[in-house]
Amino acid sequence: MQNRMMITGAGSGLGREIALRWAREGWQLALSDVSEPGLQETLKLVREAGGDGFIQRCDVRDYSQLTAFAQACEEKFGGIDVIVNNAGVASGGFFSELSLEDWDWQIAINLMGVVKGCKAFLPLLEKSKGKIINIASMAALMQGPAMSNYNVAKAGVVALSESLLIELAHEEVSVHVVCPSFFQTNLLDSFRGPTPAMKAQVGKLLESSPISAADIADYIYQQVAVGEFLILPHEQGRMAWAIKQKDPQVLYNEMTVMADKMRAKAKQSAG
């Protein structure tokens, strides 16, 4: 392990905080995002925190950009030890309202972006016996109402991570998947959905979170160190997951009530 890490979606939010958490341990960081100004700012903060590295603009929908990023890591760092597939976008809306374009967009970034990140960097990770950290969401485990395309994409990230955990054990590449609940982030900047009311409701949930992106990054750091596969940073998320494992119907009933409330609120806003 030579302390070399790659992060997608590193220009803001959780990606930036993960970079800063590892930078404090003196790591070399390869930072990518679609936002150049965000990346410049992250690199500046990384250097102030005690790390170093380089930035490269990368859209995770484009596999050739990810393979070029992997090549840059090999040229500049001589390889990579940890990859963090973090780039993601938010969306919401009831299934009947979501277009197939909404589905394609969500799956191309939040699921296939992770698949392509793992694929592009796997040869380097096999050499270094490194680690994969995939950022999913509690939505992958809880399937809240009015976000089916987001739920499906993030559940795919968990299923991919479980598959890789098993397949890559032979290569001594370890795998971790993180499922945060709502937290204060700029995820809404990328939000796409059919109704403004939905965006406002998600915004309230993000703002009311008891923990910050920096807290989550620190929790990820600790859990990866002890080898935990499924990382649930929110206490409420851990409790909800325990309930679902014991009696899923309890959660389904609760989500059905929530869906009715959301429909009623949306009607009020429209009226």
242 CB neighbour count, 10 Å cutoff: 10
Set 63, 150, 219, 221: catalytic member: 150
Q: What is the separation of C-alpha 50 from the centre of its chain, rounded to a whole number of angstroms?
A: 24
Nearest C-alpha neighbor of 9 from the set 82, 117, 81: 117
- The closest of 5, 9, 6, 1 to 186, measured between CA atoms, is 9
C-beta pairs of 120-125 under 8 Å, 24+ apart in sequence: 120/63, 120/66, 120/67, 120/69, 120/70, 121/6, 121/66, 121/70, 121/73, 121/80, 121/83, 122/173, 123/70, 124/70, 124/73, 124/74, 124/79, 124/80, 125/80, 125/81, 125/83, 125/171, 125/173
State the Cα angle at 266 between 261 and 270, rounded to 5°.
150
**Residues pairing with 176 in the sheet:** 133
> Alpha-carbon Rg of the chain, whole angstroms?
18
Q: Is 264 exposed, middle or buried (0-12, 13-18, 19+ CB in 10 A)?
A: exposed
Annotated active-site residue 219? The verdict is: no
Dihedral of CA 222/31/77/82: which sign?
A: positive
147 secondary structure, DSSP code: B
Count of Cβ atoms closer than 10 Å to residue 128 Cβ = 18
Query: Which residues does the annotation mark as catalytic?
Result: 150
